[in-house]
A and B are shown apart, each in its own frame.
Chain A
Amino acid sequence: MILRESFESALNSIKANALRSFLTSLAIIIGTAAVIAVIGIGTSANKALDAEIDEFGVRNLSIFAGQKRRGGVSSGASPLTLKDAYALERVTEHDWLVAPGIQRGRQVQFENNNMQASINGYSVNNFPVRGFNIEYGRLFTEKENLARKKYVVIGSKVASELKTFSRNLLNKDVLIGGASYKVIGILKEEGSSGWQSPDDEFYIPILTATSRIAGTEDLGWINVGIPNDANVDLVMMSIEEVLRRQHDIGPGEDNDFRINDWSQYADLRRQATNIFALLIAGIAGISLVVGGIGVMNIMLVSVTERTREIGLRKALGATPKIILFQFLVEATILCAIGGIIGVFIGTLLLYVFASFNDWPFAMPFSAILGSITFSAIVGLIFGIWPARRAAKLDPAVSLRYE
């Protein structure tokens, strides 16, 4: 009975001062919305990252060319070459896939349509290392690579860029930089990951690329695919050993190449995302506490305004405990409603942000429950003082309050 009366009178009072209640809980709304959005964005970003890593299939190290240094002085670029890739392939102690690559931009033409595209020179290993799968046709073979065949495998979205259909392109010739290449395969859609969009690109045998397009054996990169359970440190040491020998680097001299471990990179990114999310959530949490102070302020005003009402309730038999409870309920409901509105706004923000970034929409239920509970607790804590003040009012005096 009393519980219901407290809830009713709390809701009545919140409704009666709708604008004031809204402005009071605004800080709670913004705080909760920020917490929810940031936690959701962090979760969604990590999910997207997981999906990206899964796409690679195997664990993936990338080697890039760097600067040659002698005694701290740069002495020009030192490229990675096909010979480096062959040297890595000859290593038998590791179960790795060496995937050298090169990329150039070229104009591509099919019938009357043009596109500017990235032309990748791939070895047969590059496809499994990247986790690319064929949709129509086939991939090229090592034999065709050695024969420097003018064959091309294309990404799933190339056809629409050239204003035609994938099946229509299969076994047709396209002009790449003016030379004719036969489309032998079309990849499944991979989706863009970060700065790359493999669906828009062309893939030709690496030897075709070095001899016919780039005119050099200098590579853009060498990817090394290793099993998920491989000892990355040992693999990196082996790569270093081979490449230092290949590049004739003496003891004490710095490497003229870089090795990136993408999964390590992903871990770092995940960590950064989490720290960032925690930081923003912390700041948003402070705004909740600030909101709580606002609620306390308004509740104090409300207690003063309603002194007569409190006096009347006491005259009619309300005990100090009942009055205390009534005002605690009011402050708690005010903040909880703010929290619920905030969750809605935050979820909406997350939805917009996630669809904008093409991320999966992920919102931990615990975050929703947690932030509403936290707002309610903020209301409860900051309601204590005003509620105690109301409970302690002298009925005889407050009945005559003007």
Chain B
Amino acid sequence: MISTENLEKHYEVGPEKVFALKGIDLSIKKGEFVSIMGPSGSGKTTLMNIIGCLDSPSKGDYFLNGKLVSDLSDDELAKIRNQEIGFIFQSFNLLARNSALSNVLLPTKYAGLDGKKSLSIAKEMLELVGLSDRTDHTPSELSGGQQQRVAIARALVNRPSIIFADEPTGNLDSKTGQDVMNLLKDLNNNGQTIIIITHEDNIANQSNRIIKIKDGLIEEDNKNV
């Protein structure tokens, strides 16, 4: 599903090249639940941006579902993000003035989908995350855990091949965080590929595979059973 070959990313700071990624070879299969860990400055954010199609590598190839995406245009990348990837963020990133339902609907609008059909899918997704009675609430009327579940429904609405979660429990207390993790595990048990970025061991330990990044390289890549 995901396969990268010798991914490099550098930034030009004055005359110098600063490397964030120094050559990453990574392969993630359909249905995996992967944690990416690493201290700040390790390059894990850059790796996530590239795998999430938010950024392009300086060198190397990135294949998503067999398609070379590392040199697509901005518009094509936007389409891939819309269709293939569902994002979940640490700070939820819901539109503050929109209802839960309208937040979940946003990706379908960018997909140019039919209104009625996407409305029923969006409601279905809110039901899946247990918020069918909160569809008209705005984010400020929801708890942190509920907001993150709206974000998960939004991530799922276009039926992406990968869910990308960047510190999804970082802003939640441990119990609510565990609820969110349980929801993600349920999704994974139903075949959803999930990649999670975290620095918490107890979160990473709930996934099937832990990849540790250090200084722009993969330091460890272990199955976790």
Contacts and interface: CB of A to CB of B under 8 A. Distances in A.
B115 A321 contact: no
A12 interface: yes
Among B82, B89, B109, B158, chain A packs the most CB atoms within 10 A around the CB of B109
Nearest to B54: A396
What class of interface size applies to chain A in its complex with B? 20 to 34
Nearest to A392: B74
Contacts of A394: 55
Given A312-B93, A317-B79, A317-B107, A399 B54 contact: yes
Nearest to B84: A317
B14 interface: no
B75 A319 contact: yes
B59 interface: no
A317 B74 CA distance: 10
B132 interface: no
Interface in A293-318: 308-309, 312-318
A316 B89 contact: no
A2 B97 contact: no
B149 interface: no
A100 interface: no
A399 B95 CA distance: 13
A308 B54 CA distance: 14
B111 A317 contact: yes
Contacts of A16: 97
Contacts of B74: 319-320
Among B75, B106, B112, B158, chain A packs the most CB atoms within 10 A around the CB of B106
B162 to A, nearest CB: 13
A12 B97 contact: yes
Contacts of B81: 314-317
What class of interface size applies to chain B in its complex with A? 20 to 34
Contacts of A316: 81-82, 87, 106-107, 110, 154
Contacts of A318: 78, 110
Contact of B89 (A2, A309, A399): A399
Among A309, A320, A322, A399, chain B packs the most CB atoms within 10 A around the CB of A399
A108 B111 CA distance: 87
B82 A320 contact: no
Contacts of B115: 1
A69 B154 CA distance: 95
Interface string B88-130: 0100010101100000001101111101000000000000000
Nearest to B154: A316
A5 interface: yes
B49 interface: yes
Among A2, A313, A316, A395, chain B packs the most CB atoms within 10 A around the CB of A316
Contacts of B106: 5, 313, 316
B114 to A, nearest CB: 8
A330 to B, nearest CB: 14
Closest 5 interchain pairs by CB?
A317-B82, A317-B110, A396-B54, A396-B49, A319-B78
26 contacts: A1-B109, A1-B115, A2-B109, A2-B110, A5-B109, A9-B95, A12-B98, A16-B97, A308-B93, A309-B95, A312-B93, A313-B110, A315-B87, A316-B82, A316-B87, A317-B82, A317-B107, A317-B110, A317-B158, A319-B74, A319-B79, A320-B78, A394-B55, A395-B54, A395-B55, A399-B54
Given A312-B93, A314-B54, A318-B110, 14 more contacts: A1-B109, A1-B112, A5-B109, A5-B110, A313-B110, A316-B87, A316-B107, A317-B83, A319-B75, A319-B78, A319-B110, A320-B74, A396-B54, A399-B54
